[in-house]
Amino acid sequence: MAAYPSNIALGIDIGGSGIKGAPVDLETGTFFAPRHRIPTPQPATPEAVAATVAELVQHFDPDGELPVGIDLPAPIIDGVIPSMANLDKSWAGVNGAELFANVLDRPVTLVNDADAAGYAEVRYGAAVGRSGLTIVLTLGTGIGSALVVNDVLVPNTELGHVELDGYDAETRASSAVYERENLSYKQWAKRLQRYLSYLEGLFFPSVFIIGGGISRKSEKFLPLIDTRAPLIPARLLNTAGIVGSALLAAEAVGRAPETITPLPPLPEKENEGGKADEPRRTKAKKAGSRKKNTSKAGKLAPKSNKGNKSKQSSTSKKDKVKKAKKKHKKA
């Protein structure tokens, strides 16, 4: 059994394809030991997932003192999961905190995946030191959201499920939809624009942080979106859920780190040369397996652009991208 220093907690991130965990150094928001990943069992029932989480925890062989935080893609109220959108539906009504505490034989802190990721961004990453309301959105299979006000997390917001133009927003604007519908970045950015403008009109945040795996490619689509609040990519990328769960677990048992050193900014990316509206999946196209999506970006496109040819002229588009890029950099 390994004894970990008091500034370490174990974070576990349950996703649709993988369950990942690592002991986290809470003073720096970095991994204390390499991350371990086990594929998510299919179907991802509570029992099967709990058994996989137990295997993952065993890998790190923790003593009984190590705080354990687990995140999953659903709201959690007093440990109970009221509904589940993207894992097995049998999670609805399950007391997840109890389930994991039983299989692990220790108390655990169970949190929503976007809350964990968003909290990590606010404490170690892209939103450190920002006052007012930070909205973190994770774009993946669904859209997750975290609202943090002056470092305090408002848990269980489900902004991916706001109904917009008659659709559940995540079914039109998540990165899974961008993949599935073979959208160009430009088409997808229009949907995100509509979604973000809508959220902005409701919450007027001080900053939007965009996370999820696709935030690695943020330079391809964020400059195409114009919001009043700065719109900036997440800093922690795929470690955010693990780091945030670990920190929330430590805080829950009074073991918050005494000091936190935020992560340094990521090195700026070289322009990879791709244009925002270039087709991306040449392989699939060559094989003839995907048709280019030439349809309008869909109902989540900004209304003001509909049928307005002059606004769509290439010069004004270029200007807009330039302006947005500038704003993006400033943030």
Residue 73 as a binder of ligand BGC (CB under 6 A): the answer is yes
Token pair for 297: 């970006």
Residues 193-212 that bind ligand BGC (CB under 6 A): none
Rounded to whole angstroms, the Cα distance separating 20 from 297 reads 34
Q: How far is the CB of 143 from ligand BGC (least distance, A)?
A: 6
Q: How far is the CB of 61 from ligand BGC (least distance, A)?
A: 29
Give yes or no for a contact between 169 and 157, defined as CB atoms under 8 angstroms apart.
no
Residues 146-175 that bind ligand BGC (CB under 6 A): 158, 160, 170
Give yes or no for a contact between 304 and 311, defined as CB atoms under 8 angstroms apart.
yes
- 211: which strand partners? 138
Q: How far is the CB of 272 from ligand BGC (least distance, A)?
A: 27
In the complex with ligand BGC, which residue's Cβ is closer, 192 or 321? 192
Among positions 40, 52, 109, 138, the unique one binding ligand BGC when judged by CB under 6 A: 138
Q: For residue 312, count CB atoms less than 10 angstroms from its CB and return exposed for 0-12, middle for 13-18, buried for 19 or more.
A: exposed
In the complex with ligand BGC, which residue's Cβ is closer, 11 or 62? 11
Q: How far is the CB of 86 from ligand BGC (least distance, A)?
A: 5
Give yes or no for a contact between 156 and 111, defined as CB atoms under 8 angstroms apart.
no
Among positions 75, 96, 211, 233, the unique one binding ligand BGC when judged by CB under 6 A: 75
Give yes or no for a contact between 111 and 155, defined as CB atoms under 8 angstroms apart.
yes
In the complex with ligand BGC, which residue's Cβ is closer, 26 or 84? 84
Q: Which of 107, 174, 84, 100 is nearest to 137 (CA)?
A: 174
Compute the CA torsion angle 163, 127, 247, 31 (nearest 10 deg).
Answer: 110
| Host H or E run for residue 287 | none
Q: How far is the CB of 48 from ligand BGC (least distance, A)?
A: 18
**Cis check: omega of the bond before 43, within 30 degrees of 0:** yes
Site residue total, ligand BGC (CB under 6 A): 15
Give the type of residue at 287.
Answer: A
Residues 95-124, one symbol each (x = binds ligand BGC by CB under 6 A, - = not), give -----------------xxx----------
In the complex with ligand BGC, which residue's Cβ is closer, 19 or 114? 114
In the complex with ligand BGC, which residue's Cβ is closer, 82 or 132? 82
Please name the residue that has the structure tokens 């034989």: 105
Q: How far is the CB of 71 from ligand BGC (least distance, A)?
A: 9
Q: How far is the CB of 303 from ligand BGC (least distance, A)?
A: 25
- Could you tell me whether strands 68-72 and 109-112 are parallel, antiparallel, or unpaired per DSSP bridges? parallel
Residues that bind ligand BGC (CB under 6 A): 73-75, 85-86, 112-114, 138, 140, 142, 144, 158, 160, 170
